[in-house]
Homo-oligomer: A and B are copies of this chain.
């Protein structure tokens, strides 16, 4: 198998940490560049002791420079904040390097929507139509040909996969969707801050960001495209005292209130039966975040409540693996002509 040299900009966050972990086990991708302004000059294995004796540990952390990246890498992963990524991506593409961007900078097709939710102008709007939304289940063919992949947000991944079959099969009223999402604390990032200290998060639970979480337009864009018309939904987020995991409880109204569980389940199975990673649970089983930990699986549970005429969809993923770094690696696999699951097969501990 050929060796593919890749780079990672932004190693100090949890998504960067997770990607170094996954790359250490990839059979043919080799980390040749790891960038961080703050940690520049250190050996990666000294910064991340868990990496020692594994591939990647001896890379010296450097400051990002696009020409240097072009010399060292075929693909660069950008794990930097929205607003910072767009100029880096532009420079890399000009230097002939393919880019998988973790940020929101290339997820929204409309620069006005970007401005409205992210409160800044897009500096390279011409790239928006070139970027492919990196959800392999929906866009594998386009991703394989892309120069620039916009890796989906963690919450949107769980919500889009959860709603997909219901909308494809026209089961629900799209004007009445409420999403109640809960995420582990790695989703809040690895910056020093009081609200994410252990003693502020542990044995605590709270909502945050209501009602203006920035993943809202991304979810609406993709759900609208699936539905064939504009969809406006209520998206709401909470912080779990766990490291990882997203569970989205999605409340919908059935178009036909007499629809049975069996009909809904059959629609979901039709859609996902052959899927490698989307697992639809049988009647009576509900998903748990631990069962997808550290993996690419998206587990979906279905509840039909005939009392209220509702379909409740429970969708769970690992926010760092499926919701960020693992999905980025799957996209890089597609770009490189590798099987999408390469390096993503291992099960992580569940307890």
Contacts and interface: CB of A to CB of B under 8 A. Distances in A.
A244 to B, nearest CB: 7
A281 B199 contact: no
A126 interface: no
Residue among A17, A345, A349 facing the most chain B CB atoms (10 A cut-off)? A349
Contacts of A303: 210-211
Given A196-B197, A240-B205, A351-B243, A345 B294 contact: no
A245 interface: yes
B249 A238 contact: yes
Nearest to A178: B251
Interface string A190-215: 11111011111111111110110000
Nearest to A25: B346
A285 to B, nearest CB: 7
User: How many subunits of this chain does the assembly comprise?
Assistant: 4
Interface stretch (A46-54, A75-83, A134-142, A327-335): A46-54
B238 A182 contact: yes
A282 B281 CA distance: 41
Interface residues of A, number: 88
Contacts of A210: 286, 303, 305, 312, 314
A131 to B, nearest CB: 26
Interface stretch (A29-37, A107-115, A229-237, A263-271): A229-237
A203 to B, nearest CB: 5
A245 to B, nearest CB: 6
Given A234-B308, A307-B232, A310-B234, A351 B200 contact: yes
Interface in A261-294: 276-277, 279, 281, 285-294
A347 B205 contact: no
Contact of A289 (B49, B205, B232, B242): B205
A50 B182 contact: no
A182 B182 contact: yes
Contacts of A208: 286
Given A347-B25, A349-B18, A349-B294, A241 B240 contact: yes
Contacts of A25: 345-347
Given A54-B347, A197-B198, A199-B14, A206 B21 contact: no
6 contacts: A21-B347, A202-B243, A207-B314, A211-B305, A211-B307, A320-B351
Given A205-B288, A208-B286, A211-B310, 6 more contacts: A22-B347, A178-B310, A202-B243, A207-B301, A210-B305, A238-B249
